Structure 1
Amino acid sequence: MTSVSTLLPLRVLVLGAGSWGTALAHAACHNAQVMIWARDPKTAHDINLQHRNRRYLPDIALPAGLLACDSLEQAFAFLQDASSSLIILGTPVAAIAHTCAILRDHLPAAGLQTTPVLWTCKGFEQQTARLPHEVAQAILADTIPHTGVLSGPSFAREVAQGLPVALTVASRHECVRTRATAALHAGNTRIYRSQDVVGVEVGGAMKNVIAIACGIADGLALGMNARAALITRGLAEMSRLGLVLGGDAATFSGLTGLGDLVLTATGDLSRNRQVGVALGQGQDLDTILSSGMTAEGVRCAQAALMRARSLDIDMPITEAVCSVLFDKVSPLDAVSRLLSRESRSE
């Protein structure tokens, strides 16, 4: 295994070797000694010896100093003698409860309970409609107190390529914001800081749902006017839900609101938009998903709508997306229903 440089006192552990976890591990190598934990031993082997993640980013050369392992014990031992450390959870929303349980069971025993923890997943938990911080809080409680979220308009591939990106770290704890900035703010990666965990998470969740709607409109060839309308009204929908849940209005006009929404609704690398385009072109959801295309917006759309309805919040675009995804309503009929809504003040 490649030896770890002693020149960088900060150590970063990334749990999850998917495309986003790998991209963030790559970015953190500018400022820190980094280890990535992979569930698959072959992935860890490839990163260590070939400096490639052949499953998720096969054409991206990874830094020679990036370490990988498939052992949780080895992963946490990597942080134990560090003067400064950070844990990044590169797992999807569906796995955050399990990952937080791992932290609860391992970090105190390793003397790492005060290590800042960041998650990067975007969405509502499918069964409970909880946001990631609500899931984490229920499991970690006061055992692992310093937590936060990292989000923003970003495609993993571009981050791994070293292209410019701006992200937001949100936490109630200054130590989390400071540590994340120290680990990731370098080169073409800019980190902005916020205390609005709720707003950042709602933006990250809802932009995926709105991106599916924009993809459907594009698949139906409804034009750029329709796309602009969906983005604008989608932003209003996102903000309504976020404000009721306790988010800050300013967050929704920033990187994790409007910024992430525009990227995901218009970018060709957006899997959520691609799912919408395929639906608009007449493919059914089962066929789309069986082809290997996954998108967080599909998983969280129903949960987002459930949370909104429990709060009596009007979410017409989210309702339309859910009707296409799960109620067999045709994309054209769903759009017609949106267009038939009565005029109202903006």
Structure 2
Amino acid sequence: MTARAPAPAGREVDVLIVGGGPAGLAAALVLGRSRRTVLVVDAGEPRNAPAAAMHSFLTRDGTPPDELRAIARTEVAGYGVHLHDGRAVTASWVGDRSRHEERFRVELQDGATVLARRLVVTAGLVDELPQVEGLAQRWGRDVVHCPYCHGWEVRDRTIGVLATSPVALHHVGLFRQLSDRVVYLRHTGPELDADQAATLAARDIEVVEGEVVAVESADDRLTGVCLADGRRVPLEALAVAPRFAARSDLLAGLGVPVVDHPSGNGVHVPADPMGRTEVAGVWVAGNVTDPMAQVIAAAAQGNTVGAAVNADLVTEDMTRARVVAC
């Protein structure tokens, strides 16, 4: 049997995972079950923190996000995975790549240093919200983004869709599936052409021109929005497509590219289907690479990355053993 040494912060590990959400913990589970030494560093800033429950996760629909993470942390710890609450701040290369002795050196905010053979970043993203008074305070409640995450909860209400980019036209169609009372707030979005306007009219979607300056609420419920010209539009829910900002600062020093997302709504870290980035030894999963991924998809990506990283390490172990034998 292969003994596995302890791997607290300050020691060398096979894999350092930065981000302790569903993607990171799913990767940790696979790697822990493969008898890898794994350290998960988690800053405790989950994207879905404002939400009371997560949805569309088979067998866990309606589970509070914190509850899912607690269950997952207990599971991975049972396989020897080490969990460290903190922030990774810098990453660099050390060692000799030609001898397969290269390592990532990652500094943590508390001053600890970790050496790792592979680096997996699952730190997610930040939703950059439109600067509208009162909007952020309702985010994740009756100001929502994803129709698959929270659309059912606002079904049959009067839903406004705040346009900030061309994506809003796709967004409004998705929410029209959930309610026959949908209002397209053009706000700062592009002007509608004749075909677009006709399509919205055919679906009985009201178009309201004018910039939205405030979200109104009463008795802890959204009641409408105010426009710059003083008009008020009564609403019961508001759909917003935020800008996605991948939490990728740690990767800057390693030369991992961060590029515009195809949606046009932010940036992400590109990777192949297995989660491998353009920089050897660096892998990503979850919202840092796929902003559209719901919790179940992020966990699935983490599972894939965990297996791929273990296979990569197996190949290196075999190569190293052959070199030493010679």
In which range does the TM-score fall when normalised by the shorter chain? under 0.3
| Higher Rg of the two aligned structures | 2
With normalisation by structure 1, the TM-score equals 0.23
Which has the larger share of helix?
Answer: 1
Larger RCO: 1 or 2 (CA < 8 Å, sep 6+): 2
Which has the larger share of strand?
Answer: 2
